């Protein structure tokens, strides 16, 4: 495969890792952006720039450090003593977010497919365990298949939303209860959260590729398309009344605009949730190998058992509480990466 082919695969993994339960369903975009109206659109542009710039720098630095896990990168950013605490927090965040993803998968089965939530969660875990038996090949393969389909459906949905009556008024609305500084702070925390979580996957992948030109192209492509997906999703979500009260708002929009492809889109939402689950599980397994050297299958068994417990909580409240909290903590990570980048 040529360099562009590898760059596209890296971009797909980057996108697939970020587009998880909250992103694909629209809930996360609502919490961080759409509730702020027009300010949310400006915040998305800021987040997009951060995805492009810091995602690229993170992978380049992983190659410089020969980092096989995010622990090596954090040791470089924070020093040996502080890195221990940061790594523990990172692991807790990965487990927490994996739990959110799994709970989101259960919500898709329950709310959209009318299948029992517990059954949906168990099926997701079994499928994820099977895919991760193939290691990084399974991770790259799933993302390369699912991400292009998500892009296509997202832009198809956007083409319909912009024709909705009152679209411009909804887009330009500025809720009285919010302001620009608060929206921009959410943008910073959103980008920081996803960059901090993405390092669990991007760092070992970049170190394995060992080509700065490839990872730079992959980071730019991935960040650019993440921005475009965020914007297109936001433009669709502003047309949905009481969007904050819906668990899976994107599915409701598809049901109203394209009922013929509704079932396919729900499966695609599940696919995007699934890519984040396997991405985070891969990062956790690579990190846990340092402390618990054993067969990958056994570690994945432990990882999925732990996130099963977390997923017993309901998806909406879990996302609304954990994501902003993790986002503000992740600002420290992004600041450290920025300082190290400036200093060279």
Q: pLDDT tens digits for 296-337? A: 888 888 888 888 887 776 655 656 666 667 777 788 888 888
Q: pLDDT tens digits for 195-252? A: 888 888 888 888 888 889 999 999 999 999 999 989 988 888 888 777 777 767 877 7
10 Å Cβ neighbour count for 313? 15
Q: pLDDT tens digits for 37-59? A: 888 898 999 999 999 999 999 99
Taken in order 287, 290, 296, 297, is the CA torsion positive or negative? negative
Measured CA to CA, the distance from residue 32 to residue 81 in angstroms comes to 33
Per-residue pLDDT at 49:
93
DSSP 8-state class, residue 259: G
10 Å Cβ neighbour count for 1? 8
Rounded to two decimals, what is the model's pTM? 0.81
3-state secondary structure of 313: coil
- Answer with the residue of higher pLDDT: 6 or 11: 11
- Burial of 256 from C-beta contacts in 10 A (0-12 / 13-18 / 19+): middle
Return the residue matching tokens 């411009």.
168
3-state secondary structure of 275: helix
What percentage of residues in the chain have a pLDDT greater than 70? 93
Q: pLDDT tens digits for 136-172? A: 777 777 777 877 888 888 888 888 778 777 778 877 8
Per DSSP, the chain holds a count of helices (H) and strands (E) of 15, 0
Mean pLDDT, rounded, for 289-300:
83
Is the predicted pLDDT of residue 88 greater than 80, yes or no?
yes
Q: How high is the mean pLDDT of the chain?
A: 82
Measured CA to CA, the distance from residue 249 to residue 241 in angstroms comes to 10
Q: If pLDDT is split at 50, 70 and 90, which confidence band does 22 have?
A: low
For the residues of 97-126, what is the DSSP string, one character each?
Answer: HHHHHHHHHHHIIIIIS---HHHHHHHHHH
Mean pLDDT, rounded, for 268-287:
83
């Amino acid at each position: 495969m040529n360099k562009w082919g590898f760059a596209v695969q890296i971009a797909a993994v980057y996108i697939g890792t970020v587009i998880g339960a909250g992103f694909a369903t629209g809930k996360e975009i609502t919490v961080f952006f759409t509730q702020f109206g027009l300010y949310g659109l400006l915040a998305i542009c800021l987040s997009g720039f951060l995805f492009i710039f810091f995602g690229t720098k993170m992978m380049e630095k992983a190659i410089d450090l020969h980092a096989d896990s995010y622990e090596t990168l954090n040791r470089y950013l924070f020093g040996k003593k502080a890195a221990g605490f940061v790594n523990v927090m990172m692991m807790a965040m990965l487990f927490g977010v994996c739990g959110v993803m799994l709970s989101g998968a259960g919500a898709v089965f329950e709310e959209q497919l009318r299948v029992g939530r517990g059954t949906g969660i168990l099926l997701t875990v079994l499928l994820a365990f099977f895919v991760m038996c193939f290691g990084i090949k399974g991770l790259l393969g799933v993302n390369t298949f699912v991400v292009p389909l998500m892009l296509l459906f997202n832009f198809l949905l956007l083409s319909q939303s912009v024709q909705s009556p009152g679209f411009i008024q909804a887009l330009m609305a500025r809720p009285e209860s919010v302001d620009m500084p608060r929206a921009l702070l959410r943008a910073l925390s959103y980008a920081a959260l996803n960059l901090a979580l993405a390092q669990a996957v991007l760092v070992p992948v970049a170190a394995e590729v060992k080509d700065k030109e490839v990872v730079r192209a992959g980071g730019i492509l991935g960040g650019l398309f993440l921005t475009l997906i965020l914007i297109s999703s936001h433009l669709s979500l502003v047309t949905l009344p009481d969007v904050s009260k819906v668990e899976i708002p994107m599915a409701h929009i598809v049901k109203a605009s394209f009922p013929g492809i509704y079932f396919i889109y729900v499966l695609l939402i599940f696919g995007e949730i699934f890519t984040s689950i396997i991405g985070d599980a891969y990062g956790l397994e690579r990190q846990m190998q340092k402390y618990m050297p054993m067969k990958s299958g056994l570690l994945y068994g432990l990882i999925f058992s732990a996130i099963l417990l977390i997923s017993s909580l309901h998806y909406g409240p879990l996302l609304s509480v954990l994501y902003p909290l993790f986002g503000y903590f992740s600002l420290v990570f992004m600041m450290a990466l920025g300082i190290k980048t400036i200093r060279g």
